[in-house]
Amino acid sequence: MSGQHAARTMVGVLAGAVLGVAELVFLCVAGPVRLIPAARPACRRIAERLLTLERARLTTWLGHRTAPAGGGYGFLAVRAASGLVTGYGVAAGLFSGGLLVFGGLWDLLTRESASVPVDFPGVKVVTNVGVVGLLTGGFLLVLTLGGALAAAAAERLLTDRFPGPGSQERMRRRIAELTATRSDIVRAVDDERRRIERDLHDGVQQRGLALAMLLGRAQHAADPAKSGELVAQAYTESRRLLDELRSVAWRIYPTALDELGLRAALAGVADRSGAPVTIRYGLVERPVSEIETALYFVVREAISNTIKHAGARDILVVVSEDEQTVSVAVSDDGAGGADPSGGGLSGLARRVRALDGTFTVDSPPGGPTRIVATLPKEVPCG
């Protein structure tokens, strides 16, 4: 077990204690308030929020990827009790153990430690207070760590075994999720249409107007040499127009994705990016079309945002899979500070959620930035 894992477990258990206090306060207030029918939706929303925080804590600090089954108020009651008890025990153990270790070190360093005789049957040992403090504090810290690990294992077991919501509640949640997803899809389509219209208006249309003007001037030019020069300019402009059309078509949907697959399409994105992009492709088989398309657009938009706003010198794309999901992670060494609610990233989040996936953005100011999308291997059928 690594020190990082132990530290994360400690933080997760202590965070559970803080969350347990909030859950206990909520349950004490919600008990009588739920007798008022008008207040029940608000109580349900707060309970859902607390469950969301529990999911985040379990995933981030305790390494548990299975979300709480639901359980509602019963789950929150058990969690509040266990969180307070284990959190108090871990906090008390860390404080007492740390105090003993610090006191023992201080006594040894200042050489003010008093002698302490320790008598065993047939053996007499003379030590001092500093050593006793160090040994006792170290033992207490080890005991606290073991208790924290046991508490984390118990919490994961509780999450897996606690009964989930009933069939009606699951149906209600699924209907709400599908309603929100449908709205997200409509917004994503509208945003994409507006982006295509801007590309056509600002690029293709302007090129077309310039080409028409050059041809018109060449048609009315009296000097053959001038006319030939204008035709040559029109030819150059037509090549630029074709390049612009290819670029717009590629941004809408690359034919390489259908013809050659995701690996080739991502290689094309890397070639066009204008910045160093490393791609680590770990998929054994091609994903289904909808999943493959979503993964492609996540990578393309993430790289585009990085180049436009972050000034990154190195971009890493990792495509991986497990038994049930396929994921893509885009990391860069840029300036960070990416806004998940911005147009590009929020559109990606809606696209991923529409396929029952998860989308996270970790981009502290100063960098680095890491964008991760995880999608099921099978397309959800609702």
Residue range 45-96, pLDDT digits in tens = 888 888 888 888 888 888 775 544 455 788 888 889 999 999 999 999 999 9
Q: In what order do the strands lie in the sheet with 369-376?
A: 277-281, 315-321, 325-332, 369-376, 358-362
Q: Does 115 or 372 have the greater pLDDT score?
A: 372
The structure's pTM equals 0.48
Residue 280: the pLDDT is: 92
Residue 369: the pLDDT is: 87
Residue 258: the pLDDT is: 77
Q: Which of 8-17, 66-75, 105-114, 310-319 has the lowest mean pLDDT?
A: 66-75
Residue 163: the pLDDT is: 52
pLDDT category at 362 given cuts 50, 70, 90 is confident
CB atoms within 10 A of CB 152: 22
Residue 35: the pLDDT is: 82
- Dist CA 1 CA 18 (whole Å): 25
Residue 253: the pLDDT is: 64
Rounded mean pLDDT of the chain? 80
What are the pLDDT digits (tens) for 172-186? Answer: 666 666 666 666 666
Q: Which of 13-17, 238-242, 327-331, 348-352 has the lowest mean pLDDT?
A: 238-242
- Dist CA 345 CA 339 (whole Å): 8
Q: Is a pLDDT exceeding 70 seen at residue 247? A: no
Q: How many CA atoms lie within 13 A of 47 on its CB side?
A: 23
